[in-house]
Amino acid sequence: MAKKVAVVGAGLMGAGIAQVAAQAGYEVTLRDLTEQALTRGTDGIKASFDRFVAKGKLDAADAEAALGRISTTTDLEAAAGADLVVEAVFEKIEVKQEIFRELDRITGPDTVLASNTSAIPITKIAAATAHPERVVGTHFFSPVPMMQLCELVRGYKTSDETLARAREFAEGVGKTCIVVNRDVAGFVTTRLISALVVEAVKLYESGVATAEDIDTACKLGFGHAMGPLATTDLTGVDILLHATGNIYAESQDEKFAPPEIMRRMVDAGDLGRKSGQGFYPH
């Protein structure tokens, strides 16, 4: 079992991964480009732990101990001693490839290099390294401390041992895993939600039904906890536009082509909950 974990990226996803790893007993190094980003990340972790303690789901002493297992840095070289590194930065292939190129140089041959990408093929990320067999996808879900799923993605050259160690880590932090055996863009979960979101947005865009009624149909007709347009507002219209665009670029499958209204919403800054307006006012 990996004892030392490095997380690259202290945003919502990276901070969440660092939190669950520390709570599970791992020594965690959290890295980002600036001290401000690291402070935002650790403040978010503290606030999350405080909510768990207030609800009686976590002992205050255990929360304090977990926080003590997280160290922060702006130096990527700090990942050198990690048994497993999880990258959780912006969904841009060039950025991820540069990080993995450096991690391949910095870390030892037994270190597992994992990406939290939701849509970019793992094989493309691994191609930047000299050891693609130790690169794997570990797609966690937001908010990481609450969501139970981790999607494990095997790249074209990912070894069985790498996949097994990634599963051991994900299960060790309390997640249930599914395995994506063929490295298609969007994997299983992002392809499913993207196809549903694109069709829901097209129905809304063409005036077939209101956002509320489309979401109600999915909740009451299919048993979904949240409708696709509310999910888009929660995740970020820009994030889902980028994800569907990535899948469409890779697959050329028209069902993933982002509707024009999503592009215009992003242009206008209507990004969902984080901006105060998306398919719904917030």
Domain annotation covers residue 198 = yes
In-domain check, residue 56? yes
Same domain, 124 and 201: no
C-alpha distances out from residue 275 to 12, 87, 269, 280, 282, Å: 16, 26, 7, 11, 8
Task: Please indicate, yes or no, whether residues 152 and 75 belong to a single structural domain of this protein.
Answer: yes
User: Does 165 lie in the same domain as 50?
Assistant: yes
Instruction: Name the domain count of the chain.
Output: 2
Domain assignment present for 117: yes
Q: How far apart are CA 41 and CA 58, in angstroms?
A: 20
The domain containing residue 222 runs over which residues? 190-268
**Is the per-residue pLDDT at 118 higher than 90?**
no
User: Do 14 and 43 have their domain in common?
Assistant: yes
Terminal Cα distance for the chain, rounded: 43
CATH number at residue 41: 3.40.50.720
Q: Are residues 176 and 212 in the same domain?
A: no
227 and 111 belong to one structural domain: no
132 and 212 belong to one structural domain: no
Closest-CA residue to 184 (of 232, 150, 151): 151
pLDDT in tens, 152-188: 999 999 999 999 999 999 999 999 999 999 999 889 9
- pLDDT higher than threshold 90 for residue 91: no
Residue 2 pLDDT level (bands cut at 50, 70, 90): low
Identify whether 280 is part of a domain: no
pLDDT band at 142 (very low <50, low <70, confident <90, very high): confident
